Amino acid sequence: MPHILAIDQGTTSSRAILFDAGMRITAVAQEEFAQHFPQSGWVEHDANDLWSTTAATCRAVIEKAGVTGAAIAAIGITNQRETTVVWDRHTGQAIHRAIVWQDRRTSDYCTDLREAGHEPVVSARTGLLLDPYFSGTKLRWILDHVEGARARAEAGDLLFGTVDSYLIWKLTGGRVHATDATNAARTLLYDIRKGRWSKTICDLLEIPMQMLPEVRDSADDYGHTRADLFGREIPIRGVAGDQQAATVGQACFKPGMLKSTYGTGCFALLNTGDTPVVSQNRLLTTIAYQLNGTPTYALEGSIFVAGAVVQWLRDGLKMIRHASETQPLAEQADPNQDVVMVPAFTGLGAPYWRPDCRGAIFGLTRSTGPAELARAALESVGFQTRDLLQAMRDDWAGHGADAVLRVDGGMSASDWAMQFLSDIINAPVDRPQVLETTALGAAWLAGMRIGLYPDQAEFAASWALERQFLPQMSTELRTVKTAGWARAIQSTLAF
């Protein structure tokens, strides 16, 4: 029976998931890797770790499923977006640790560009804002701070890519240097309307364009793996950034459909069809997916800290041992304590875009304990999502106002968190039977490309609901709680 191998290279771990011909999960392998924090606000990964854990989990999942490389019909790749890798085209070795999407080291440079009046031009072409979140300024930093890097780049000896490009290069033995439109759209260097790299912005950031990968569709030919990796050459036929892959996996193919993924961060995407909607509320205009040379656009809101706030309770405060402990704690919290947490550990994302902000907790009393902090942590994700959805409704009036929110990611497994989310956004929240929507999206792109999986309409019809959460909170309580959140945000911004 043919299988599709989905590579899901994330921020804290690499995973490989094997799907059968019926799009059912056969086996999963996962391996965590080290996070590096050389300075406050700096986040790095060793590119060798990204590659070695990816290769190891692919081999492990094939072995776990009891199949061979001959059973793998194609590979789909999904990846942490914006994370920046620069490597030597001759050796395949990265010249610096990968600079992770969470990294804030280029904040001052972004401020300088903004104050010089460049943001309108950048936004018009890329749909993005001048923020250290995106790849372009990270790439500029590497060229400026690694000795000899700029000269080597201008000589054509260095290549740039987001993680998907780097993995494709390694998987194909250096035969393919490519990315897909969804990842290109997150670099700050890609014109999402013209569908090509922007010379204007590359000149602004002093990026040699010969470093950049070829941009292809999300379901396309990305070459074949080296035969020695998995016993034979396997075609790579699907690529999408993790949030776009989740949008595909959730079958959000119609304009107005909306999904939100709760992983390390939270990312909400609203499908706007063939219309690149320009946000008036500092949301991002991006590409949801690109098929047959035609992009489908989306409005996106990015929250930097979602599941990471639970990790902080576990690893930072040592308050819990397992993430699953937050729900029973939240249920025990004193309803009379109004504790509000703003988890701006690496700044505030959309719709505020304040990289200088840091986290804060309001409403502490002598009787505040782990239960109240757990509840505030889970509620912070709902509050931040509400801010994003309100901005989307304001940007695209008449569209998506009554949309059901489809959710996925690790935190979506928490009934308490999803019920609060439904309560605070005052809308239905749908959790699918398959929570591995990111990997499923990558698998479907590859499987559809080779004719193993169904077309969009049939795939969308196969989407299955596991549970729907409906609002239960009173209007009065919702008003009080959202007003408290607004005060906490304003206080955090002021501080």
| 6-39: pLDDT as tens digits | 999 998 899 999 999 999 999 999 999 999 999 9
* Number of neighbouring beta carbons within 10 Å of residue 155: 11
Residue 196 has pLDDT above 90, yes or no: yes
**Closest alpha carbon to 442 in 58, 36, 44, 150:** 58
Rounded to the nearest integer, the mean pLDDT of the chain is 92
Rg (CA), the chain: 22
| 102-129: pLDDT as tens digits | 898 999 999 999 999 999 999 999 999 9
Collapsing DSSP to helix, strand or coil, 74 comes out as: strand
The encoded tokens of residue 52 equal 């070695």
Q: What is the pTM of this model?
A: 0.88
Phi, psi of 10, deg, nearest 5: -105, -170
* Number of neighbouring beta carbons within 10 Å of residue 399: 20
User: Picking from 244-248, 263-267, 411-415, which range would have the lowest pLDDT averaged per residue?
Assistant: 263-267
Alpha helix (H) residue ranges in 69-223: 107-115, 119-126, 135-145, 149-154, 163-171, 181-184, 199-205
Residue 255 has pLDDT above 70, yes or no: yes
How confident is the model at residue 305, as a pLDDT? 80
Q: Measure the CA–CA gap between 342 and 24, rounded to whole angstroms.
A: 38
* Number of neighbouring beta carbons within 10 Å of residue 433: 9
| DSSP code of residue 224 | B
Q: Which residue has tokens 């919290």?
A: 333
pLDDT bucket at 395, cuts 50 / 70 / 90? confident
| 162-172: pLDDT as tens digits | 999 999 999 99
Q: Measure the CA–CA gap between 238 and 216, rounded to whole angstroms.
A: 10
How confident is the model at residue 166, as a pLDDT? 97
- pLDDT above 70 covers a percentage of the chain that reads 99
Residue 265 has pLDDT above 90, yes or no: no
| 64-109: pLDDT as tens digits | 999 988 899 999 999 999 999 999 999 999 999 999 998 989 999 9
Residue 403 has pLDDT above 80, yes or no: no
How confident is the model at residue 490, as a pLDDT? 92
